[in-house]
Amino acid sequence: MSDMSGSALLWLGVVFAAVSCLVSLIVLRRLSLMAGQGEADQLARLCVMMERETAARVAENEAQRARMADIERALSARLDQRHQEMTETFNRIARMMGRDLADMRVTQSESLREMAEEGRRQSDELRAAVNERLHQAVEKQMQTSFQRVLEQIAAMQKAMGEVSAMTAQVGDLKRLFSNVKTRGGWGEAQLRSILDDVLPEGAYETNRRLRDDSREVVEFAVRMPVRATVPPVLAIDSKFPTEAYERLLQAVEDCNPDAERAARRALETTLRIEARKIATKYIVPPVTVEFAVLYLPTDGLYAEVARIPGLLDEIGRTYRVIVMGPGLMPAMLRTIHLGYVTLALERRTDDIARLLGATRQEMLRMDGVLEKLARNASAMSSSIDEARRRTGLVTRRLRELDVDTHAAPAGEDGFPLPPAMDDGGGAQADMAPTWLREGGGGMGRS
């Protein structure tokens, strides 16, 4: 590009000199026709001076072209050197930052993986321990409870098979329970013994008054295993209608069907009356549950009551009273005891659930910390990308500057011709482009 610009300037000077000579000849020709020989000599000297001036201008243009070529070569070399230095510097910085970022990412990934594995391992261990303990406790309790229920049912069946043997001892019972207070106390003592054997301590009350406006008390009030500040109670009252039972046994022994039917009707009437009294006095929701229990102290009496068709179902449906004997009462109490065990397990489960909730909160906090670490890593990556982008922008601008310097047109192609220079460095400084005068000092310093 510099050779082409110098050739264009040289040819421009030659053409200008040729045109000047041609114009001078034409002028001399006309003047020679119009004027004398003296004026022709003067014009010839003028022509010679113009040729010398033209030759001087051509030489000056050639010298200017050489100086511009030298400036261009020096500037290009300086720009290439600066471009190479900056490229090497930025590449070195990028490699260092990339290496540091890679190390940081590896370290962060290892830390996150270790934390996640540790949290997962602790959660799995806690879940396994909780499941194992709950499973063992529930399985053990269920097996024990069902085993006891089966034993009680077997005992009831055995007792039902021994009804005939117990019938033979009715005489002794008659003598023993001839006093109403005595047989009532015996039934209550028997029921208390069953309650103490099956239920945990403090699970029932004795002689509990259920109504504030009444002085009636129930013999036993069993607290139900429910989640409540004041749990409801189950009223249990012991009844022993010996007169009707003795008449029934006597009629069966005498083989008197009429007397047997009459005795069964009397026993049924007595039980209905007692069930109505219990429903009226001892079923007081929400202090009590929706039903009560009428306890018969002997399995023989209960067996005779159970033989009356539909009596137990009707009493339960009409009066909401359940009739039970010594064989069935422990089974029902085992169910209540199982409810206490279940309630304790639920409370333990609530404690475990709170522990798991606290663990979950800790995991959420850990997730927040990990999220902050991820945001910091993302911000660092964004800063590195911004630095690389600015480096590319500076490189691009330097490249554009290099291209503009090499692609500068000359003469008729649009390059501005420099002004006439004096002898010295001032003219050469004036010939430098504006961007070179403004930025040269900064580049020299750098």
- Assess if residue 319 is contained within a domain: yes
pLDDT value at residue 180: 52
- Assess if residue 426 is contained within a domain: no
- Assess if residue 182 is contained within a domain: yes
Work out how many domains the chain is built from and give that number. 1
Q: What is the pTM of this model?
A: 0.42
Nearest to 123 by CA among 355, 278, 365: 355
pLDDT value at residue 123: 83
- Assess if residue 23 is contained within a domain: no
- Assess if residue 176 is contained within a domain: yes
**394: number of Cβ within 10 Å:** 13
- Assess if residue 177 is contained within a domain: yes
199 Rama class: left (phi>0) / alpha (psi -120 to 50) / beta: beta
Alpha carbon distance 404, 401 (integer Å): 5
- Assess if residue 66 is contained within a domain: no
Q: Is the peptide bond before 286 cis (omega within 30 degrees of 0)?
A: yes
pLDDT value at residue 27: 63
pLDDT value at residue 79: 87
- Assess if residue 239 is contained within a domain: yes
Give residue-wise pLDDT tens across range 375-405: 777 777 787 777 778 787 878 877 777 666 6
Task: Please report, in tens digits, the pLDDT of each residue of the chain (446 residues total).
Answer: 444 555 565 666 666 666 666 666 676 666 555 555 556 577 677 777 877 777 887 788 888 888 888 888 888 888 888 888 888 888 888 888 888 888 888 888 888 888 888 888 888 888 888 888 888 888 888 788 778 878 888 887 777 777 666 666 655 555 555 555 566 677 788 888 888 888 888 889 888 888 888 888 888 999 888 887 888 999 999 888 877 888 888 888 888 888 888 888 888 898 999 999 999 988 888 889 999 999 998 888 888 888 888 889 999 999 999 999 988 889 888 888 888 888 888 878 877 777 777 777 777 777 777 777 777 777 777 877 777 787 878 788 777 776 666 554 444 444 444 444 344 444 333 444 443 344 444 333 33
Q: Quick one: three-class SS letters along the chain?
A: CHHHHHHHHHHHHHHHHHHHHHHHHHHHHHHHHHCCHHHHHHHHHHHHHHHHHHHHHHHHHHHHHHHHHHHHHHHHHHHHHHHHHHHHHHHHHHHHHHHHHHHHHHHHHHHHHHHHHHHHHHHHHHHHHHHHHHHHHHHHHHHHHHHHHHHHHHHHHHHHHCHHHHHCCHHHHHHHCCCHHHHHHHHHHHHHHHHHHHCCCCCEEEEEECCCCCCCEEEEEEECCCCCCCCCEEEEEECCCHHHHHHHHHHHHHCCHHHHHHHHHHHHHHHHHHHHHHHHHHCCCCCECCCEEEECCCHHHHHHHHHCCCHHHHHHHHHCEEEECCCCHHHHHHHHHHHHHHHHHHHHHHHHHHHHHHHHHHHHHHHHHHHHHHHHHHHHHHHHHHHHHHHHHHHHHHHHHHHHHHCCCCHHHCCCCCCCCCCCHHHHHHHCCHHHHHHHHHHHHC
Domain of 227 in residue numbering reads as 162-327
